[in-house]
Amino acid sequence: MSERLSPGDTAPDFTLPDADGTSVSLAGHRGRKVIVYFYPAALTPGCTKQACDFTDNLDALAGSGYDVIGISPDKPEKLAKFREKENLRVTLLSDPSKGVLESYGAYGEKMMYGKAVTGVIRSTIVVDEEGKVERAFYNVRATGHVAKIIKDLGI
């Protein structure tokens, strides 16, 4: 299993395609805070709830200087369908090789219905303006997580 990140760590840089196939990098967000969240699969109930929560709160987050990026192993075409179907406004990135997921400690062994399985660990990393990890949340719940982040960040 990959190493989990802790506050103060340098967030691994990445460049991944978005839902339209355009490359997006973490370095391109320097000077702004970024909430990077990792989710298992687009168009599933929990991931839809989480993405819609981020979209519903995007104005408050952006107003406080935060960009929001969601990363999953889905291909850009599926991310585009997800964005259109749910009217999502957050940036969705595709990581089919799972390299970025692994570098953030968001891929590995987890418990699912009482069994150990390997997959995406629902996680959220808050990165500061200089690219350092400000907060790291692992094994989060899809429901209520965005409200918890907003409260933790004092927004």
The kind and range of the H/E element at 91 are: strand 91-94
For residue 47, indicate whether it is catalytic.
Answer: yes
Interatomic CA distance for residues 52 and 48, integer angstroms: 6
47, 101, 105: which is closest to 78 by C-alpha?
A: 47
The per-residue b/e assignment along 53-71, b for 16 or more CB within 10 angstroms, e otherwise, is: bbbebbeebeeeebbbbbb
Given 19, 34, 42, 47, which residue is catalytic?
Answer: 47
Tokens in use for 35? 């909430």
Outline where the chain has alpha helix (H).
45-56, 58-63, 76-86, 99-103, 145-152
Residue 143, SS3?
coil
User: What's the farthest any 2 CA atoms get from each other in the chain?
Assistant: 42
Task: Indicate which residues carry an active-site annotation.
Answer: 47
